[in-house]
Amino acid sequence: MSMAAAAAAIMAVLLAALMARASSAAAAGRVWADEEKGAHNGTARRQVTYDGRSLMLDGARRMLFSGDIHYPRSTPEMWPRLIESAREGGLDVIQTYVFWNVHEPIQGQYNFEGRYDLVKFIREIHAQGLYVSLRVGPFVEAEWKYGGLPFWLRGVPNITFRCNNEPYKVQVYTQVKTDVMYEVRVVHMQKFVAKIVNMMKDENLYYPQGGPIIISQIENEYKLVQAAFHSRGPPYVRWAAAMAVNLQTGIPWMMCKQDDAPDPIINTCNGLICGETFHGPNSPNKPALWTENWTSRYPLYGHDPRFRSPADIAFAVALFIARKKGSFVSYYMYHGGTNFGRFASSYVTTSYYDGAPLDEYENCMLQSSNLKNHYFQEHILITHLGHVFKTESNCVAFLVNFDKHKTSNIQFGEASFQLAPKSISILSSCRRVVFETAKINAQHGLRTAQVVQYLNNVDSWKVFKEPIPLAINNSTHIGNRLFEHLSTTKDETDYLWYLTRYDYRSNGDTQLVLNVESQAHVLHAYINNDYIGSVHGSHDGPRNIVLKTPIMLRKGQNSISLLSVMVGSPDSGAYMERRIFGVRKVSIQQGHQKSHSLNNELWKHQVGLSGEMNNIYTREGSSRAQWTAINKSMHLPLIWYKTTFDTPWGSDPVTLNLSSMGKGEAWINGESIGRYWASFKTPSGQPSQSLYHIPQYFLKPRENTLVLMEEMGGDPLQISVNTMSVTRVYSSVNELSTPSLLSRRKHPAVRLRCQQGKHITDIEFASYGNPVEDCRSSSRSCLGSCHAETTEFVVKDACLGRRKCAIPVRPAKFGGDPCPGIQKSLSVVASCG
């Protein structure tokens, strides 16, 4: 499973980097314990400082490994287990953005409840002994609606997001007296950042106060858009930095991808290969921090998932530590979670980074052992063989082979080492290999969706047909022009109807063609209440989508109803407030005559769908709607569906399989579980996402109400309710791999562990010899030319009936060497139940 491979990568990277430490896990535990003790008895002054090597907590250097978990993308009920799993995975820090638009959706009205309870989230992290990296932004991007900015900002007169221009301010003030407009923007950004900082201070959450927050971020990847603002860019960077520092949090601030971050702000790296692309800190007094090490790529509708191999991520992190003297790495994401409601940005799926180490459903997709941390390093020597870190008492070497295809044999010191293609070997005491990025010992979780119930009882379904508006009375959205989509809807809905009438005077039997150009994401067209066609765009396609379709008109008045649809708002780029979306051009062509433009006809606009405006996905709204029997309403566009189902027994996560549907949004008991778009297939012919997570918090024991807004047409009778769990685990370990430094064993071992509450019920495949590299199919074809016949007996004896087990990878365990002279591995696939 590709997501498991990606998860393995993350944990393997932790192994690779954490091996480069001089002291033991116990030392790191003492650091935290001493911090807590000092905070309570008042004998120690807690502080976070930094120099050119690392962040320092109370003067102690720390090599810190972090993982991103975004609190709005999960539920408070999930937070403790997610954080516990991250801690067990070896993380020191949880990193999160702060999402302005969930906290201040209406100007001056704040929300810090439920999924948006930032203080509760941070307190849970602290309770489990981890630190926090707080990325305040307040622009965050994050594949999140409007980049985290509240949409009401767009309504501030003449606003320009994320820029500054003092000379222009003075000139405009003296001539037109609009200087206040700029000040309004500054006030809003500064006011929100100060609110978050003061909230953290009031709750004593900063490290000097005894809390877990050790570093904060202002702005986000501004360098990518800075040039577009010309002379207004650099002053804004300086202003944002000064504003943040002046809030006096007592901890460092950082800016990612901002080479010109002014002192004392730390410039950091985001990306796939920061060991190669990062220019390094812009001052010798700042440490090298990697704020986003992308564990995969965020999923998009119409795109197949893309994951990184374990070896690739392990290599990248080891190189960052060796070449850039890196001392902080954050895995983006560690748990991606769910884009509930309409919070995903343009074309981004509801499931977010499901291939992360902790999947969307809280399943830990990999088990691995790791060292806890304490950092050493006084100076670094670079040699042509690799990178060497030395102190007076210790030496650690990173030997690097950049060749992607060839093995490299090198002489280092008095020994010879063989390096696999594109790999790094880490040597303790500059002599003994303790980790190789090409050989990763970890357990992969193999996830299974178990169908619990098909919702195929036709009598249990009800439908509500969304009316096609022909005209709107008393509408405020009327004019002789086509209104811009987002400024009209205020991004409170994905939908905007464009309505007009066309007086057709027959001119023989000439062919009529409707031409519509739109800069929205989807367009549906109706004439006289009849559906005539649709068109949609894609994330990487042209901005304009064009519908060109033959039509039939009746003589006299005809109604034209165009439904413009957004699949998320933009999350990045310069001048976001100026972006234009929606229908831009409409014309009708008769034969070879010149097209008749309808752009300046009288257009009426309806914001949202009737079902949305009446909240028919809620209990109260549903009771007012006129639901009818489903009859022959399958596969029709613009249909609301409703049914009920009982919650599956047990504690496994629950999902809906919506692969039989087209496009729309789903609600459970009034809570939106996000958009779906199963009809937009990937190049491999599959939906970008089929399974949709229903958090346990959304569910009742019985009679849960499911409501779907089906936009394009689908078959609800094929929807199923499923449970999701890791039912199979897989591990393969080479006999030449180094054993975990936490293990007392002298030999590498295959380690298997089922989820809590499950145990190993069967060994589907086991082979000590040279089985195929990836043997997750549990087929006999996985056997290689070398195989110890005793393998299955040995593994079953060690593992059956247990939640976890370990099998040493050495010939004596299997009755001798089955094939001398051949490098061997032990591969095992086990069932959990």
Residues with a catalytic annotation lie at 221, 292
Q: How many CA atoms lie within 13 A of 487 on its CB side?
A: 15
150 preceded by cis ω (within 30°)? no
What one-character-per-residue DSSP string does 189-200 give? Answer: HHHHHHHHHHHH
Pairing of strands 443-454, 366-367: antiparallel
For residue 299, give the nearest of 248, 354, 234 by alpha carbon: 354
Helix (H, G, I), strand (E, B) or coil at 3: helix
3-state SS of 650-662 is CCCCEEEECCCCC
Amino acid type, 279: H
Residue 423 phi, psi dihedral angles, 5° rounding: -145, 165
b/e per residue 544-570 (b: at least 16 CB within 10 A): ebebeeebebeeeebbbbbbbbbbbbb
For residue 652, give the nearest of 359, 455, 295 by alpha carbon: 359
Contact 317, 331 (CB under 8 A): no
Residue with tokens 């007169």: 157
179-202 and 118-127 helices, crossing angle to 10° = 40
Q: Taking the CB of residue 634, how many other CB atoms lie within 10 A of it?
A: 19
Amino acid type, 347: Y
Helix, strand, coil percent content, the chain, rounded in steps of 5 = 25, 35, 45
What one-character-per-residue DSSP string does 292-303 give? Answer: EEESB---BTT-
Distance CA 816, CA 808 (A): 13
Apex 331 CA angle, 128 and 727, nearest 5: 75
* Greatest alpha-carbon span in the chain: 96
Contact 603, 488 (CB under 8 A): no
Q: How many CA atoms lie within 13 A of 417 on its CB side?
A: 27
For residue 401, count CB atoms less than 10 angstroms from its CB and return exposed for 0-12, middle for 13-18, buried for 19 or more.
buried
What one-character-per-residue DSSP string does 588-636 give? Answer: EEETTSPPEE-TTS-EEEEES-HHHHTTTTSHHHHHHS--EE-TT-TT-
Residue with tokens 């222009």: 168
For residue 198, give the nearest of 248, 139, 134 by alpha carbon: 248
**CA separation, residue 467 to residues 560, 640, 713, 729 (Å):** 14, 11, 15, 50
Tokens, residue 391: 């102190």
Pairing of strands 522-527, 478-479: unpaired
Residue 681 phi, psi dihedral angles, 5° rounding: -80, 155
Contact 362, 78 (CB under 8 A): yes
